[in-house]
Copies of this chain bind each other. A is one copy, B any other.
Amino acid sequence: MSDALTQLKERLKRVTDLERVGRILNWDQQTMMPPGGSEHRAEHLATLRGLQHELLRDEETGRLLDALGPLEESLEPDSDDAALIRVARRDYEKAARVPTELRAEMTRAAAQARTVWVQARAESSFEQFLPALERNFELRHRYVECFEGVEEPYDILLDDFEPETTTAEVRAIFEELKGELIPLIAELRNDDVDDSFLRGNFPVESQEQLANEVVYLFGFRPDTWRLDPTEHPFASGAGVDDIRITTHYDPPTMKSFFSAMHEYGHGLYSHQLPRELERLPTGGACSLGIHESQSRLWENLVGRSKPFWNCFYPRAQDAFPEQLKDVELGDFLAGINRVRPSLIRIKADEVTYGMHVILRFELEQDIINGRVAVRDLPSAWNEKMSEYLGVDVPDDAHGVLQDTHWASGQIGYFATYLLGTVMSVQISQKVLEDVPDLEEQIEQGEFAALRDWLGEHVHRHGRKFSPQETLRRATGATIDTKPYLAYLRAKYGAGVAA
């Protein structure tokens, strides 16, 4: 029996290794690779993904899992080994339904589509991107068809990013939010706040220095982390001791600073995953929703808060004197927290952000359920932007082409951004309960207690439990929109700088 467990672990370690190698290749592609390498990269990623899939879905995996049934029943359900068998069975049963060739082709097509999208976005040409996007959606249709007796086809896609979470559950949460957010945006938008100092001349070298400074203050260490520039910020890495975060330096804005804090949150999660489960599936991240709860916590609940800027604002003024030297801290806080509907999700304020996600979540289902054709996405997008946020989309680069996800085959991913945002508030409120002087610590530039709390209550569970069970263990409750909405009202209703 324990021999079967050892064999299962050895097999799963190879699966994990291949996945992590793929992550390094993705990181490389977006930070280092000469552009000419994209065709090689698509093939290499497809080969890795195909082999990973084959190892996982091999009948030998099934045989080992069968043999381990009695052991699993005899173990404490919370034990590492019981969780491992449970998670591995789940992964195996999904993988066994999907032919390797389809899995590899999904990877290859996505890598190719990403290259096409970069160009199409630069030229704001949806036409140019359409064939690659249609191919990605077509492959997801084929993927969904591998599963039988599916109530909602979209469930299959969502589950790859937020496991054990159904479309119906997310839809209920999002409907609740939608009903509240639309009037809240109307109420809280403050077009008269002057944030003109946030556009101008932010020298890239100063941005680089400041981004490095803030993540270092948070807990980034160069022996195990990297921070690099990229076009579309993301976090990646090869394991707990090889964490790679990125940001995008855009000279007229200081957006890179907020991206760096956001990606730090992702990086810290990966860095504090359970070391003893390294190379096992249970040692990975729980879900993208939980991941996003970490990044949003550092970006917004720390990084747009008054205590943090009480500590850090003099540094920002030093770095960008031309922009900030005559701006009072209160005006700065009001500026970086100004509520105003806008075109680009990753630049959206905390109040309007949710509607960007809900729009994408709905459009993905419309396509997967055949209600909207891929070629009609731009007009569907633009209509919803007008309806939900009251903005007119001037061109597809500022509309349907803005995100990399559909190009990268990440269909079913967007919902996790808002789930994570909602959960980030629940988590931060629980931290405040347990660490009552947290705000004072943040004002002193002390983040160890926050890091440790997150490590102890969220990160250390890895992927042992479902996202909702993980959240429940951390906060005592499953996902709940009320704290999030109350937080928005409290922060933005009172006036941010108050």
Using CB atoms, name the residue of chain B closest to A40: B239
**Binding-face segment, A41-49, A111-119, A184-192, A329-337:** A41-49
Chain B contacts for A28, CB-based, 8 A: 24, 28
Known: A37-B239, A39-B241, A224-B37. A44 touches B32 (CB 8 A): no
A107 vs chain B, min Cβ distance (A):
12
Q: Does A394 reach chain B (CB closer than 8 Å)?
A: no
Contact with B along A215-252 (1 / 0, CB 8 A): 00000001111100000000000110111000000000
Contact with B along A249-291 (1 / 0, CB 8 A): 0000000000000000000000000000001000000000000
* Inter-chain contact A36/B223, CB cutoff 8 Å: yes
Instruction: Choose one: B34, B48, B241, B243; the contact of A241 (CB below 8 Å).
Output: B34
A41 vs chain B, min Cβ distance (A):
7
Q: Does A149 reach chain B (CB closer than 8 Å)?
A: no
> Could you tell me how many residues of chain A have their Cβ less than 8 Å away from some Cβ of chain B?
35
Known: A34-B223, A34-B243, A243-B34. A47 touches B18 (CB 8 A): yes
Q: Does A51 reach chain B (CB closer than 8 Å)?
A: yes
Contact with B along A24-35 (1 / 0, CB 8 A): 110010001111
* Inter-chain contact A51/B14, CB cutoff 8 Å: yes
Instruction: Choose one: B20, B51, B225; the contact of A40 (CB below 8 Å).
Output: B20
| Copies of this chain | 2
A24–B36 CA distance with the chains assembled, in angstroms: 15
* Inter-chain contact B32/A32, CB cutoff 8 Å: yes
A474 vs chain B, min Cβ distance (A):
27
A20–B48 CA distance with the chains assembled, in angstroms: 11
Q: Does A21 reach chain B (CB closer than 8 Å)?
A: yes
Q: Does A164 reach chain B (CB closer than 8 Å)?
A: no
A252 vs chain B, min Cβ distance (A):
25
Instruction: Choose one: B37, B51, B225; the contact of A34 (CB below 8 Å).
Output: B225
Q: A41-B238, A51-B51 are in contact. List 18 more A-B contacts (CB 8 A).
A: A14-B47, A18-B47, A18-B48, A18-B51, A21-B21, A21-B25, A21-B47, A32-B32, A32-B226, A33-B242, A34-B224, A34-B225, A34-B243, A35-B223, A36-B223, A39-B239, A39-B241, A40-B241
Q: Ordered nearest first, which 9 A-B pairs have the shortest CB separation?
A: A37-B242, A36-B224, A36-B241, A40-B239, A17-B47, A40-B238, A36-B223, A17-B44, A14-B47
A-B contact pairs, 19 of them (CB 8 A): A14-B50, A17-B48, A18-B47, A20-B40, A20-B44, A21-B25, A21-B48, A24-B25, A24-B28, A28-B28, A33-B238, A34-B222, A34-B223, A35-B223, A37-B238, A37-B242, A39-B239, A39-B241, A43-B279
